[in-house]
Amino acid sequence: MQSTDLGNKESGKIWHRKPSPATRDGIIVNIIHSTSDYHPKVLRFLNVAFDGSGDCLIAGDHQGNIYVFDLHGNRFNLVQRTAQACTALAFNLRRKSEFLVALADYSIKCFDTVTKELVSWMRGHESSVFSISVHASGRYAITTSSDTAQLWDLDTFQRKRKLNIRQSVGIQKVFFLPLSNTIISCFKDNSIFAWECDTLFCKYQLPAPPESSSILYKVFAVTRDGRILAAGGKSNHLHLWCLEATQLFRIIQMPTKVRAIRHLEFLPDSFDAGSNQVLGVLSQDGIMRFVNIQTCKLLFEIGSLDEGISSSVISPHGRYIASVMENGSLNIYSVQALTHEINKPPPPLVKVIEDLPKNKLSSSDLKMKITSGRVQQPAKSREGKIQTRILKQDLMGNFENKENELSDGLNKKRLQILLKGYGEYPTKYRMFIWRSLLQLPENHTAFSSLIDKGTHVAFLNLQKKYPIKSRKLLRVLQRTLSALAHWSAIFSDTPYLPLLAFPFVKLFQNNQLICFEVVATLIINWCQYWFEYFPNPPINILSMIENVLAFHDKELLQHFIDHDVTSQLYAWPLLETVFSEVLTREEWLKLFDNIFSNHPSFLLMTVVAYNICSRSPLLHCTLKDDFEYFFHHRNNLDISVVIREVYHLMEITPAHIHPESELEVFVALTKGQYPVFNQYPKFIVDYQTQERERIRNDELDYLRERQTVEDMQAEVDQQRVKDEAWYQKQELLRKAEETRREMLLQEEEKIVEQRQRLAAVKRELKIKEIQLQDAARRRFLKLQQDQREMELQRLDDEIERKVQMRDREIASTAKDLEMRHLELETQKRLYEKNLTKNQEAVAKAIQEDADAYRRKVDLEDHMFHKVIEADQTQSRETQKIIEDSLAKAEQACLNTDWKIRTLHKQQCDDLHRSAGYQEVAALLQKNRRKEMEVLNAMMEKDAEKWKEAEEKDFHLKSEKKASALSDASRKWFLKQEMSAALEHAENPFIQVSLNRKTEWDGMEQNLIKKVRNLRQRLTAQARNRCQTPHLLAT
């Protein structure tokens, strides 16, 4: 299996060596698309679609990159970047280079693969489009989303119809039947309708499936002939509907491991006439199984559990299968490789005679061994005589069956026995049997040389005479006829050659070499002596048919003679069309199974048998037109009866009139080069060719002259048209000028009338304006009066409201004053309480000082070294007390300042309100005077308290200062005493020490008095510095 990475390439080869798909998986190539960015990733393919020829496919990934893969030319090309994911694709439009793509923004775009340009942009869907179905003609398309289906005209790209449904019933799929003008619409409630495309008339509705096997249909598929509809869903059951009978005719149960069906598609076959027998079923496990719907046998499968398939598309000719895998890659499968084992022809039956070393040859000595493969040769024996006899017998047997032995190991006799038993060859092996019966050489080189010569001039305008709808079929027919004309010149002038070759071209349109060789073999063997009387019909062949008919049915021949019906009317139309006009496809194939298996005279006998089997309606025909119609149209005739009649005629016809005695036996085409075909009057053909060439040259000259004349005539006509157009234009201009003048006069009259009417209207409007102004003035005066009355009323209400508000404010002010008085009394009591607490605290502190002094005196007597430490501790405590006292005094000053500012602010507010509240002002003044008296008294009391506090503080400082002096003197004394004690430790001076102690006590008392006097002076100075705060009164 080859793998191709598209990468960032816009074009290149799909595979780099000739693909050889294995029978096991059948994969031709695996295509992936990965990016080469900094972080490489694989771009997933989402959708794929084949074109009408089946050799090109188009695929789109989830980033909107759309590629065209030419499997025949081994090329791929990036044709478009849509920048958004595609949800559906269609590539079988009437213009072969265009394709439709449905995008994620709910729009449908049409692009051209050659120019890579946008052709059209179609909008109209409101949800994602998941299906695009194109009509067989390529002119119309149906796009389907979950809520609607729309029919588009691809010539104008305009919407023709829109299918609207209820929200409760969703759409599953809407699509065209192949090769038909019918639209099938399938809904989520299992209802299926068929509509006529042009009129949208409902043709029929399929009945509901039986309740025993009812499933919700999700996926659908239709055979190419449009006769069978396959439907499946979340179940392992498949329903097959016959659309002609509108009934369910078969239910197929898939294997148990299939729980749901995700996709269905029939596998086309070139030789099944559109009645496809193989159905591809993609299940939930990612495996696509192909089953025969007639035998219900599993033929082959693609995909696996590890590499599951997401969706698949089969080419129209059934050669390729394109599958989008679950990993995002694209696999291309070869159907021929997958079906190689199935389509393998049966092994040839070869008889090998083995001889034993004995001399006797009996029936028991010959053993027949059936093997497959190459023919085994008998071993040589040493005994020449006996071996010679045995080989002679073997050679005689081989000589008798020589003409019955065919290539590929088939035996003509056994094929004839099989044909007589079943009436026809198996459809599956018919083409193989035909090729063996006709012993086609398959000269590729010779056929290529004929094809390379191009289209023969005789068939350049073939489509005008034979308008065939299929362009491919027309092209194959044109090539086949051109190859025949290049092979032999007579075929370029044979008028019935297209009719003769058309059924074979239609049958072998996918293999032009086989088609050419089949037609050539038919002409050489079954068309013997047809061209001896060219360009007239083969009189000799028609005479043979007339002789046989005269022998077997004289009455019918006499009836033909009586009504002037010759063999050119009842035999030649059947021969020149090889019965293709009067038989259906299946009947024609059955007939030619027998023709190719018998002597070339079988075809002539078939003409006689057809007339004999149709004698009843022919005997009732009296008009020549009726006979012509009968032999150019299909009739109600059983071909099996005709074939049995042919075999009967072949056996009972006398030898002297039997065509077998006149016609040559079958001769196959030669290998390598095709034989020369010159069984025709060459001088007539050459003369006709020369005459035709002369006529063609004359015609070309005539066409050139006619073209020149037509060009001149066109120029004259064009000039005449221009002159007539100029005169008409001038006449129109003159008439238009007169019309404009009349219109101007009428407009002027209308303007005068309008001005008069306008003046009258202006006068009326002026009068109305004066009246309106007078009425407005009166209304304005009344409005002003009402407004003034309302203003007076509002002022009265405002005055009353102000009075009430003033009364409420006076009452509230009185209440506020009472509350203020109560607050002041409360503050006074609190202040007195605080003073008492402060006095107690001071007394406690003095007591503590006395206690500390006593403890200090006691300690000084015991330890000298703690005197300094006690002195420092006392100094810190004294400093702390002084700092606390200063802080409290400062806080008291701040509180007083705050109260003064508060009173000042209140006074300012009172001044602002004094203008409107005169009565309240007097009461406020009285209260203020009382309040000032209270405040003055409090300030005086406060000053006295502060003065007392300062005096006490001064006294404390004096005491501490005296204490410090005493401590200093004591320290000095202790140092002296310690030094004296060290010097005179051994001399007791007890009496002197006692005297000095008495002196120092007297000195200490004097120092205490001095400290007390100093405190008093400092207190007096502090009192003088303290200023009484001034209260502002207004």
Per residue in 475-500, pLDDT (tens digit) is: 899 899 999 988 888 888 788 889 88
pLDDT tops 90 at residue 68: yes
More confident: 458 or 218: 218
State the DSSP H helix or E strand holding residue 169, giving kind and residue range, or none if neither. none
pLDDT tops 70 at residue 695: yes
Q: What is the CA radius of gyration of the chain?
A: 65
pLDDT tops 80 at residue 860: no
In whole angstroms, give the CA distance from residue 695 to residue 494. 17
- Spatial contact of 271 and 430, defined as CB atoms under 8 Å apart: yes
pLDDT tops 50 at residue 395: no
**Token digits for 974?**
């202790």
* pLDDT tens per residue across span 614-644: 989 999 988 888 898 999 888 888 899 999 9
- Spatial contact of 334 and 28, defined as CB atoms under 8 Å apart: yes
Q: What is the length of the chain?
A: 1034
Angle at the Cα of 187 (from 186 to 189), degrees rounded to 5? Answer: 130
What is the structure's pLDDT at 1018? 72
What is the structure's pLDDT at 682? 64
What is the structure's pLDDT at 279? 93
pLDDT tops 70 at residue 507: yes
Which of the four pLDDT bands, split at 50, 70 and 90, describes residue 347?
low
The arithmetic mean of pLDDT across residues 533-552, rounded, is 88
What is the structure's pLDDT at 376? 35
Average predicted confidence (pLDDT) for the chain: 81
**Token digits for 937?**
């008294």
pTM, rounded to two decimals: 0.40
What is the structure's pLDDT at 935? 77
The DSSP 8-state label assigned to residue 183 in this structure reads E
% of the chain at pLDDT higher than 90: 20
pLDDT tops 80 at residue 589: yes
The least confident of 165-174, 387-396, 778-787 is: 387-396
What 3 state SS string does 785-848 have?
HHHHHHHHHHHHHHHHHHHHHHHHHHHHHHHHHHHHHHHHHHHHHHHHHHHHHHHHHHHHHHHH
In whole angstroms, give the CA distance from residue 61 to residue 79. 13
Per the DSSP assignment, residues forming a β-bridge with 49 are 58
**Token digits for 671?**
């290998």
What is the structure's pLDDT at 1001? 63
What is the structure's pLDDT at 346? 56
**Token digits for 414?**
């056994």
The arithmetic mean of pLDDT across residues 204-225, rounded, is 85
The least confident of 365-374, 414-423, 536-545 is: 365-374
Of 136, 145, 147, 126, nearest to 183 by C-alpha is 136
pLDDT tops 90 at residue 913: no
* pLDDT tens per residue across span 175-197: 999 888 899 999 888 889 999 88
What is the structure's pLDDT at 396? 38
pLDDT tops 50 at residue 101: yes
The arithmetic mean of pLDDT across residues 329-340, rounded, is 89
**Token digits for 579?**
């019965």
What is the structure's pLDDT at 1026? 55
What is the structure's pLDDT at 37? 63
State the DSSP H helix or E strand holding residue 961, giving kind and residue range, or none if neither. helix 918-983
CB atoms within 10 A of CB 90: 25
Residues 6+ apart with CB under 8 A from 592: 434, 578
| Residue 392 burial (C-beta neighbours within 10 Å; 0-12, 13-18, 19+) | exposed
What is the structure's pLDDT at 989? 40
Of 585, 642, 633, nearest to 610 by C-alpha is 642
- Spatial contact of 209 and 239, defined as CB atoms under 8 Å apart: yes
* pLDDT tens per residue across span 105-154: 889 999 998 888 888 888 888 889 999 999 888 888 999 998 889 999 88
* pLDDT tens per residue across span 799-856: 888 888 888 888 888 888 888 888 888 888 888 888 788 778 877 887 787 778 778 7
What is the structure's pLDDT at 954? 83
What is the structure's pLDDT at 332? 92
- Spatial contact of 832 and 838, defined as CB atoms under 8 Å apart: no
* pLDDT tens per residue across span 265-309: 999 887 776 778 899 999 999 999 999 998 888 888 999 888 899
* pLDDT tens per residue across span 373-384: 333 333 333 333
pLDDT tops 80 at residue 60: yes
- Spatial contact of 669 and 517, defined as CB atoms under 8 Å apart: yes
DSSP three-state, residue 896: helix
More confident: 938 or 402: 938
Which of the four pLDDT bands, split at 50, 70 and 90, describes residue 362?
very low
What is the structure's pLDDT at 372? 33
Residues 6+ apart with CB under 8 A from 296: 252
More confident: 314 or 391: 314
Which of the four pLDDT bands, split at 50, 70 and 90, describes residue 907?
confident
The least confident of 30-44, 295-309, 376-390, 707-721 is: 376-390
Top-ranked range on mean pLDDT: pick from 694-703, 854-863, 881-890:
694-703
* pLDDT tens per residue across span 438-459: 888 888 888 888 888 888 888 8
